[in-house]
């Protein structure tokens, strides 16, 4: 069993990089301006990438750069420069899905390790071994595997080959993300990072001789979201997945917010640390509850326990039970300086998240503006709010409250 499993967090920009590192990631994965499977986040310019790698390495955190699209002929000429810059910037590994890109990485960035992406659909030990022989140091396993299959892959592959698996985040109804639905319906190629997520849309049936007469696939009058997968959440099954011999636990979500990165990283960091401290202890309820405080679809355990992840048929939206109301900028002499994120009121109770700590409740009984005028609410975006409190808050602490 791996005694030093890696926690790998998603990063879409510099703010999210700081969140991942602050809340306990051992490694992060991110993208440049091209060749990554997520175009929604801002991603990193070359200058930002170099700074990100330097900062992460100062914090003893590894950086993996996604190069996991399936490029077409007209994109290949831009790859050598991209790969050479990645090596010069000092990234620790390239995440690759395409064998041609793998060959080019070995030529133009020979000092950088190769991690084969989940897009490669690695579902058996023969594929894993072949990719290892071709130069991969790690494979990101297909999400369609169960725990027993992962354990068998571990047992039948070289111990030097690292195995990575997703433990949290959005699931794709297509095999390992290889989907053409977006291309067919919108012209946006999911395999080149531009998925429109049509699997999340509302669908109904229509019979050809009855145009305009829509027939829901379910009894819901709004139709059905038959392709809309639940989100994965393995927080209560850390012992089982670690016993497979996995090397790295990966959180999905490079297009998600810094708050999402903070909460998920903190939860899985805490669960992993709890397990190593006491392997017989079940994960603390507060850790499980933390993952209900982010925007998410209904959770499942994916295919890990031998069952299909299931779909959310009733709607295509998210469960949102909490709002971030402020971030702590400073604490001194019994006063917390907050930067507002959503409206809150005097008399509210904030749920406070700090890196490495169990969340705690903080009454907001005395609120003041920056000039020490008493206020009843904080209605303005990014306004400075002063709160008197005997409970110290660390800089970067996130204040939340339950939605009304």
Nearest to 229 by CA among 261, 252, 205: 252
Task: Give the distance between the most distant pair of CA atoms in the chain.
Answer: 75
Of the candidates 19, 1, 4, the residue with the CA atom closest to the CA atom of residue 248: 4
User: Can you tell me the distance from the alpha carbon of 18 to that of 306, in angstroms, rounded to the nearest whole number?
Assistant: 36
d(CA 209, CA 140): 47
Verdict on whether the full-model pTM lies above 0.75: yes
Neighbouring C-beta atoms of residue 350, cutoff 10 Å: 25
Residue 399 pairs in a beta bridge with 326, 352
Please tell me the distance from the alpha carbon of residue 141 to that of residue 122, in angstroms, as a whole number: 5
Beta-bridged to residue 29, according to DSSP, are 10, 64
Query: Exposure of 141 by Cβ count < 10 A (0-12 exposed, 13-18 middle, 19+ buried)?
Result: buried
Residue with tokens 């330097």: 54
What are the C-alpha distances in Å from 166 to residues 5, 290, 401?
13, 18, 29
Evaluated on CA atoms 18, 105, 113, 254, the torsion sign reads positive
CA 95, CA 166: separation in Å to the nearest integer? 14
What is residue 82's three-state secondary structure? helix
Ordered per-residue pLDDT tens for the chain, 404 residues:
445 899 999 999 999 999 999 999 999 999 998 876 655 557 899 999 999 999 999 999 999 999 988 888 999 999 999 999 999 999 999 999 999 999 999 999 999 999 999 989 999 999 999 999 999 999 999 988 999 999 999 999 999 999 999 999 887 766 666 666 667 667 777 666 677 776 666 766 666 777 776 655 554 544 456 666 788 999 999 999 999 999 999 999 988 999 999 999 999 999 999 999 999 999 999 999 999 999 888 888 988 997 655 666 555 567 889 999 999 999 999 999 999 999 999 999 999 999 888 999 999 999 999 999 999 999 999 999 999 999 999 999 999 999 97
Q: What is the 3-state secondary structure (H, E, C) of 46-57?
A: HHHHHHHHHHHH
Two tokens at 150?
């992962």
Length of the chain: 404
Q: State the helix-helix crossing angle for 14-22 and 46-58, rounded to 10 degrees.
A: 10
User: Residue 353 and residue 90: Cα distance in Å, rounded?
Assistant: 32
Specify the pLDDT at position 211: 74
| Separation between Cα atoms, residue 160 and residue 138, nearest integer Å | 9
Question: 159: which DSSP letter?
Answer: T
In the chain, the domains with their CATH numbers are: 6-174+231-300 (3.20.20.70), 322-402 (2.40.30.10)
């Amino acid at each position: 069993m791996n005694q030093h499993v890696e926690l790998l967090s998603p990063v879409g920009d510099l703010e999210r990089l700081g969140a991942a590192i602050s809340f306990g990631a051992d490694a992060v994965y991110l993208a440049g301006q091209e060749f990554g499977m997520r175009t929604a986040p801002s991603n990193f310019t070359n200058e930002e990438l170099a700074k990100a790698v330097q900062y992460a390495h100062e914090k003893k955190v590894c950086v993996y750069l996604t190069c996991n699209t399936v490029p077409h002929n007209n994109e290949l000429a831009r790859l050598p420069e991209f790969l050479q810059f990645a090596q010069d910037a000092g990234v620790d590994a390239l995440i690759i899905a395409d064998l041609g890109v793998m060959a080019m990485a070995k030529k133009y960035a020979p000092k950088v390790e190769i991690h084969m992406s989940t897009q490669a659909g690695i579902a058996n030990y023969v594929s894993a071994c072949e990719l290892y022989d071709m130069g991969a140091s790690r494979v990101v396993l297909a999400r369609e595997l169960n725990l027993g299959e992962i354990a068998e892959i571990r047992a039948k592959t070289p111990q030097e080959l690292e195995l990575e698996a997703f433990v949290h985040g959005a699931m794709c109804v297509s095999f390992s993300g290889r989907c053409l639905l977006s291309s067919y319906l919108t012209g946006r190629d999911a395999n080149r990072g531009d998925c429109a997520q049509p699997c999340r849309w509302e669908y109904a049936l229509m019979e050809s001789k009855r145009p305009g007469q829509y027939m829901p696939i379910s009894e819901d009058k709004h139709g059905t979201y038959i392709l809309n997968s639940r989100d994965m959440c393995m927080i209560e099954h850390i012992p089982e997945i670690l016993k497979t011999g996995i090397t790295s636990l990966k959180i999905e979500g490079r297009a998600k917010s810094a708050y999402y990165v903070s909460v998920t990283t903190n939860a899985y960091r805490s669960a992993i640390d709890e397990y190593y401290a006491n392997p017989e202890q079940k994960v603390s309820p507060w850790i499980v509850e933390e993952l209900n405080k982010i925007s998410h679809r209904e959770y499942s355990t994916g295919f890990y326990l031998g069952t299909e992840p299931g779909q959310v048929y009733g709607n295509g939206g998210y469960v949102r039970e909490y709002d971030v109301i402020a971030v702590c900028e400073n604490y001194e002499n019994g006063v917390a300086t907050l930067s507002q994120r959503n409206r809150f009121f005097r008399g509210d109770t904030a749920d406070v998240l700090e890196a490495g700590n169990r969340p705690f409740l903080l009454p907001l009984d005395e609120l003041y503006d920056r000039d020490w005028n008493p206020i009843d609410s904080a209605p303005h975006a990014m306004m400075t709010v002063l709160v008197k409190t005997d409970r110290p808050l660390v800089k970067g602490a996130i204040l939340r409250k339950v939605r009304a």
